[in-house]
Amino acid sequence: MLRNSTHFCVMISKYSFFLAAIFFAFEGSAQLLDNSKGLAFTDAPFFNTRFVKASKIKEIRGTYTFKKQGDIMRESNYIYVFNFDTLGNLTRHYQTAKGDLVTDTTVRFYDYTHDGRMVRRRISQKKGFLSTYYTYNSEGQVVKEEVYRDIDTMNSLLTPSIERSILWNTETMSYQVYEGQFKKKIFNSYGNQYLELTKYNDSLGFLSQEEELFTITRNKLTTKYKYSDKGLIERISVYKNTEPVPVSESHFTYDAFGNLQSKLVYKDGVFITEYQIIYSGLTGLLYSIITREVSSNFISIIRFTEPTFWDKP
């Protein structure tokens, strides 16, 4: 970890928001956050559904505290919420923030098949949502993605009232699987291939590299994965064409039990964002998420209360 990152942790520890990051081992030491694909803190669900289901978690809710450089910590009424179904799937994720005139709310909904495959991802936009629908083949691979603009002039957000849905785009996919290699071709709404994605596994079966080749321009994005001694993703680096510096890079650290502790984000070789995850020493559940924007040293802390459960665990 970089020197300014260490200073950041020391500074935050002066406040009462830190508890000891000691994880209580649930259900065979399962982790609450799932970073097996490096998707933590993206729009994709990144919770361990088995853990959430076994713990019967219904809702995880937190509130924001902010700190500008040279200022004191300031609490707020802005919230950050995860909702789950009884199978442990993340069904809704929303957060509030300061808007130009009123509080701004961003909402994400997720719908699944009975076996846990995501069939719709819906993200709020002005007076509506952008919804992506996924169709699968018998192998569980996505063969079609349809993007709709859902109109909701009532701006109901948390309980959408969709007046109409307009199809914006359709893409289809085909697959070829070889020994140690996986190839995916993506076609636009006119049926023309525009992208080919190839995944390579190492001799142990771990994903080692992905190559995205754009059919027309021949531009290429190469994603490389690096793992820890325990097989956890430590680094994801994305390179464009033959450029030596990654256009984006994420570094991850874990505790002794495999729980995600931090994510460091780089863009064009510049360190831009740091996430620190703190777990409750009593329950092992989320206690706080600390985010620092490196250029401004602006810090936001989400401090979580005790989760709501479907019933007593």
Q: What is the pLDDT averaged over residues 266-289?
A: 94
Using only the alpha carbons of the chain, give its radius of gyration: 21
> Residue 248 pLDDT > 70, yes or no?
yes
303 vs 76: CA distance, rounded Å: 11
Block residue for tokens 């509030």: 96
Are 165 and 152 in contact by the 8 Å Cβ rule? The answer is no
- Tokens 């909904």, located at residue: 109
What number is the average pLDDT over the span 115-134? 93
Q: Which residues contact 42 (CB under 8 A, 6 or more apart)?
A: none
Does an H or E element contain 162, and which? none
Name the DSSP letter for residue 33: B
Spatial CA neighbour of 145 closest among 123, 167, 176:
167
pLDDT score for 101: 60
Torsion of the alpha carbons at 210, 214, 247 and 229, rounded to the nearest 10: 0
Q: How far is CA 122 from the centre of its chain?
A: 14
Task: Decide if pLDDT at 268 tops 50.
Answer: yes
Of residues 274 and 18, more confidently modeled: 274
